[in-house]
Amino acid sequence: MTLVFDDRMWLMGGWFNGLLPGCSASSEVWSSSDGLSWKQATARASWSPRLAAGAIAFQDKMWILGGIENYFLGDDTSLRNDVWCSTDGETWELATEQAPWSPRAFHQAVVLDGKMWVFGGGNYVPRHFALNDVWCSEDGVEWTLVRENAPWEPRLWFSSVVYRNRIWVLGGWSQEEGNMGDVWCSADGEHWTCLKSEVLWRPRHEHSAFVFQDRIWVAGGHAAPLSSEVWSLHLPVGWC
């Protein structure tokens, strides 16, 4: 889980050593101002070791939302829907132990319109399920269900950004649909518009997406096979 906060890059949690002996999740927190020198804020954060959580900066704090404690090895009991926040990466405060959104991993979290948003995700194995619900909160404690079933298909391993004051959902994967190559945006989490374009990257999941120089960028991912492509999108003001 990664984010930018207080002029530093932050790396938190994750999974170590694949499926080899000694593999495990982590609750370490590290930061760097230059990518060269890294400082460990804590070797064991208050939240349980995990991967595939939502990670955002909101209200001058870092937030960790949900995730899973075991990769490929975890059942439903390994999934989390707790919400934690911190101002320094070392001391973490539990906002809620059980948010009203269901325990999940491989979801996305963003900040828009003075709220944090959580949507999609699910789990891969041993029981696959995928979601397309949309939730928001102003404080991480009280949550509102904005849309139980968004018009985009339920999915895992998708990417999301905020661009032109809208939430964007890009690609992803589910057992039912396989790789996805659709792009959706919304200004309120309830009403969604599908971007139609004759030129678009191949369907994929586990790709990176970010906003830079007034463009959405999509890089890499599993596009059957793995891809090292880099794409960008610029939309005129007032497109949607």
The pLDDT, as a whole number, for residue 72 is 84
User: Could you give the CA distance from residue 16 to residue 71 in angstroms, rounded to a whole number?
Assistant: 10
186: closest CA among 143, 150, 144?
Answer: 150
Amino acid, single-letter form, for residue 3: L
The pLDDT, as a whole number, for residue 240 is 66
CB 107 within 8 A of CB 66: yes
User: Could you give the CA distance from residue 167 to residue 226 in angstroms, rounded to a whole number?
Assistant: 26
Average pLDDT over residues 61-80: 94
CATH of 1-149, picked from 3.30.1490.270, 1.20.1730.10, 2.120.10.80, 3.20.20.210, is 2.120.10.80
CB 207 within 8 A of CB 218: yes
State yes or no: pLDDT of 102 exceeds 80.
yes
Average pLDDT over residues 41-56: 98
User: Could you give the CA distance from residue 225 to residue 32 in angstroms, rounded to a whole number?
Assistant: 32
The pLDDT, as a whole number, for residue 167 is 98
3-state secondary structure of 209: strand
Label residue 36 by pLDDT band (50, 70, 90): very high
User: Could you give the CA distance from residue 175 to residue 158 in angstroms, rounded to a whole number?
Assistant: 13
Environment class of 21 (CB within 10 Å of its CB; exposed 0-12, middle 13-18, buried 19+): exposed
CB 123 within 8 A of CB 79: yes
Average pLDDT over residues 145-149: 98
Span of 187-191, 197-201, 223-227 with lowest mean pLDDT:
197-201
Label residue 168 by pLDDT band (50, 70, 90): very high
Label residue 236 by pLDDT band (50, 70, 90): confident
180: closest CA among 210, 149, 151, 158?
Answer: 158
User: Could you give the CA distance from residue 108 to residue 56 in angstroms, rounded to a whole number?
Assistant: 10
User: Could you give the CA distance from residue 38 to residue 11 in angstroms, rounded to a whole number?
Assistant: 10
Name residues whose C-beta falls within 8 Å of residue 208's C-beta, 6 or more positions apart in sequence: 159, 217, 218, 219, 220, 221
CB 146 within 8 A of CB 136: yes
Name residues whose C-beta falls within 8 Å of residue 117's C-beta, 6 or more positions apart in sequence: 109, 110, 111, 134, 135, 136, 167, 189
What value does the mean pLDDT of the chain take? 96
Q: Please state the domain extents for the chain.
A: 1-149, 164-240
Label residue 82 by pLDDT band (50, 70, 90): very high
State yes or no: pLDDT of 34 exceeds 70.
yes
The length of the chain, given as a count of residues:
240
